[in-house]
Amino acid sequence: MPLPLDQPQSGAELYEGLDPVLQRHGHQAHGLIEVLNHAQQLYGHLSEPLLRHIARQLQLPFSRVQGTASFYHLFRFKAPARHSCLVCTGTACHVLGAAQLLADLRNAGMEELGVELGSVRCIGTCSGAPLVVVDGEVWNHVSSAAVLKRLRELEP
Amino acid sequence: MSACLRLCTAASCRSRGATALLEHCRKALASDQTQLRVKEVGCLGPCSDGPLLAIDPADRLLSLQEVNGSDLETSLAEALQRGNAATGLKQWQPSGSRELSSDEPFLNLQRRLVLGRCGVVDPESLADALAAGAWQQLPRVLEQNDPAAVIELVRRSGLRGRGGAGYPTGLKWATVAAMPGSQKVVVCNADEGDPGAFMDRTLMEGDPHTLLEGMAIAAFAVGAQQGFIYVRAEYPLAIERLRTAISAAEQQGWLGRGIGGSGFSFEIELRVGAGAYVCGEETALIHSIEGQRGVPRPRPPYPAEHGVFGLPTLINNVETFGNIPALLELGVEAYGTGTKVFSLTGHVQRSGVLEVPMGTSLRTIVETMGGGAPQGRQIKAVQTGGPSGGCVPASALDSPVDYDSLKALGTIMGSGGMVVLDDTTNMVDIAAFFIAFSREESCGKCIPCRSGTVQLEMLLRKLLERRGQATDLEQLEALCHTVADASLCGLGQSAPKPVLSTLRHFRGDYLALLPAAGVQR
């Protein structure tokens, strides 16, 4: 596939926040995952133009960049919702009811609250099980009712 | 020792409000003349009692679980007005706090070698780590300038890999050292992916310098110049503290070029994962460090021969490197059989991180230290080794925890995650949980793992939904052996273990899901 070199918007200015990490890895292919991690942190998600920009900067085929990014669970290709709620589904949370918690939340219409529901495989603070991670903050020993109540109190 | 408050702000206590309590302590000390210090430390052990506060020099440990932040602030300020910090804090008991006696089995049955400084030092301060004895073994090693002697010491200690497989560490080091070429790599596998395991997180968050020093000593022993720590993205605090520790060690000249005035150079780079369990497998991890999909490849060649960027590579787990400074300090005799760090969770009264002498019995860990199952319940099993491990039945709790005893029981030591399951647990559901995990995390490269885990999960679901027959059990068992025998890497080879071990020890749970005899079609 030919690289879209003739695209009017090269992305270079749009994504200049990525320059330091690209430089740190000498624009070499082995820095790809580090670059993707930083790109997602900076821009929230990995859009196609962003992936194309990274491909050009690392001199890699677009397919190689997208193929690698899509392999890893934590990379996302759609813009995130305002809030995220991740239900931990590790072993300790599982034996303390995480599956039911996830099912209950799934049926609770989280989209209307601007909350994206997902799951995470163990964040390693199992003494708080079952737990959820909301916008990076851990809520311990939760029930679905308690989670929903607190989610409704979040800034819309 | 000067008076000091040590507040755990590692991930678990942090999730229980430790950072807010820290601010209250600091405010209380703002007008204090007694020179009392409050510092952030890593894990103090019994996470289920967190947030935890240790008080020096009285050597007290308080659970602040039921303590209100402003009450704590007022009470601390008052205690300090009553006298100097040391005497004022001897009897200090903020309302709602609960004292944990140092005679608690959870605390006094531990032998902290790897975690010796965890909970003691401020993980963000190199000066604090140095004062507590960090970075003292590397200069000794450099002065003696005998890499072979270091490897021989590690070999004689009998240290085995703490990541799960238990490969002899000295042998691995000797293999990498013997490889030709002047360029070699040391990799720390910090992709602690087993759900319910958090030993490595504890060390990285609580005492990152021990890990860095262990890696530097390993690099000197095998002749490596470049190091990588591959850490999972789910551990943001560990990543932050590692970054701080690496740059502090570089500034002090413990990492970088010409370390300690010697000809030895070693740099460490952090590589953050992106949520793929299979990257804990060493060849997949190498691919991921190289910026590729984390897909395993057949071995040989082993990483010792052909690793990161094709260079001879030593890969050890966090805890393995964490053992090295203590081993060098103590010597083989005093080090003895060493220790193992476990994370204890699940249906148990007290959960958290503990480091015990290798060979401690499961019963001691789970019942004596962990307090056993919650009130009114019985322990049914202990799951060790995560998705690659199995379940030990309560009847075998007296087995010592070491590599070979656990293997004989059909499970593995694994990295040290220990999940207690009580009598309300359906073991078939546990097997299905782990198979679903492996199915989701299979990289898809080889068919036995990719398709086998799907079929295994379908069979287990069929049983759980009471649609199963006796023949399904036979098929389940046969398929387990196929997947274990024919898969490419450790993920697939060990994925059936949770099923096989529950079939072996808890067959009754499976049979109870079959239609009663006589009504079988």
Q: Do B195 and A89 touch (CB under 8 A)?
A: yes
Q: Do B15 and A90 touch (CB under 8 A)?
A: no
Q: 92-121 in B: which are within 8 Å (CB) of A?
A: none
| Boundary of a domain, candidates A78, A109, A134 | A78
Kindly state whether residues A125 and A72 are assigned to the same domain. no
Give the tens place of pLDDT for each residue, B297-340. 999 999 999 999 999 999 999 999 999 999 999 999 999 999 99
Question: Shortest Cα distance from A28 to chain B (angstroms)?
Answer: 9
Instruction: Using the structure block, give the residue that is written with the tokens 């302590």.
Output: B25
Reported ipTM: the value is: 0.91
Say yes or no to pLDDT of B20 above 60. yes
Helix residue ranges per DSSP H, B234-310: 236-251, 282-289
Supply B90's token pair. 């001897």
Residue of B nearest to A24 (CA): B269
Supply B219's token pair. 């690099």
Kindly state whether residues A39 and A59 are assigned to the same domain. yes
Query: Nearest-CA neighbor of B389 among B326, B334, B431, B332?
Result: B431
Q: Within an 8 Å CB–CB cutoff, is residue B294 touching chain A?
A: yes
| Residues B272, B192: Cα–Cα separation, whole Å | 12
Q: Within an 8 Å CB–CB cutoff, is residue B14 touching chain A?
A: yes
The structural domain count of chain A equals 2
Kindly state whether residues A2 and A68 are assigned to the same domain. yes
| Residues B228, B411: Cα–Cα separation, whole Å | 30
Task: Please give the sequence-ordered ranges of beta strands (E in DSSP) within B275-358, or none if there are none.
Answer: 313-317, 339-346, 352-357
Say yes or no to pLDDT of A10 above 70. no
Kindly state whether residues A70 and A88 are assigned to the same domain. no
* B50, B274, B295 member nearest A37 (Cβ): B274
pLDDT for the residue numbered A9 = 52
pLDDT for the residue numbered A11 = 66
Contact A26, B286 (CB under 8 A): no
pTM: 0.95
Q: 260-279 in B: which are within 8 Å (CB) of A?
A: 271-277
CATH number of the domain that A116 lies in? 3.40.30.10
Say yes or no to pLDDT of B430 above 70. yes
User: Where does the pLDDT of residue B521 fall: very low under 50, low under 70, confident under 90, or very high at 90 and above?
Assistant: very low
pLDDT for the residue numbered B502 = 97
| Boundary of a domain, candidates A52, A78, A104 | A78
* Total residue count of chain A as it appears in this document: 156
Q: Within an 8 Å CB–CB cutoff, is residue A54 touching chain B?
A: no
Question: Shortest Cα distance from B382 to chain A (angstroms)?
Answer: 12
Q: 307-326 in B: which are within 8 Å (CB) of A?
A: 309
* A68, A74, A90 member nearest B233 (Cβ): A74
Question: Shortest Cα distance from B123 to chain A (angstroms)?
Answer: 18
Q: Do B197 and A74 touch (CB under 8 A)?
A: no
CATH number of the domain that A14 lies in? 1.10.10.1590
Residue of A nearest to B431 (CA): A91
pLDDT for the residue numbered B210 = 98
Kindly state whether residues A5 and A64 are assigned to the same domain. yes
* A72, A91, A127 member nearest B274 (Cβ): A72
Q: What is the DSSP letter of B364?
A: I
Kindly state whether residues A32 and A91 are assigned to the same domain. no
Contact B160, B169 (CB under 8 A): yes
Kindly state whether residues A4 and A74 are assigned to the same domain. yes
Give the tens place of pLDDT for each residue, B47-79. 999 999 999 988 899 999 999 999 999 999 998
Kindly state whether residues A24 and A97 are assigned to the same domain. no
Helix residue ranges per DSSP H, B336-446: 362-363, 403-408, 427-441
Give the tens place of pLDDT for each residue, B214-258. 999 999 999 999 999 999 999 999 999 999 999 999 999 999 999
Q: Percentage of chain B surpassing pLDDT 90?
A: 91
Instruction: Using the structure block, give the residue that is written with the tokens 């080889």.
Output: B446
Helix axes B208-222, B318-335, angle to 10 degrees: 80
Q: Decide: helix, strand or coil at residue B418.
A: strand
Kindly state whether residues A20 and A43 are assigned to the same domain. yes
Kindly state whether residues A64 and A87 are assigned to the same domain. no
| Boundary of a domain, candidates A48, A78, A108 | A78
Kindly state whether residues A58 and A96 are assigned to the same domain. no
* A71, A75, A92 member nearest B345 (Cβ): A92
Range of the domain at A132: 83-152
Q: Within an 8 Å CB–CB cutoff, is residue A79 touching chain B?
A: no
Mean predicted confidence (pLDDT) in B460-484: 97
pLDDT for the residue numbered B322 = 98
Write down all domains in chain B, each with its CATH number in brackets.
4-102 (3.40.30.10), 126-333 (3.40.50.11540), 339-421 (3.10.20.600), 427-511 (1.20.1440.230)
Kindly state whether residues A107 and A128 are assigned to the same domain. yes
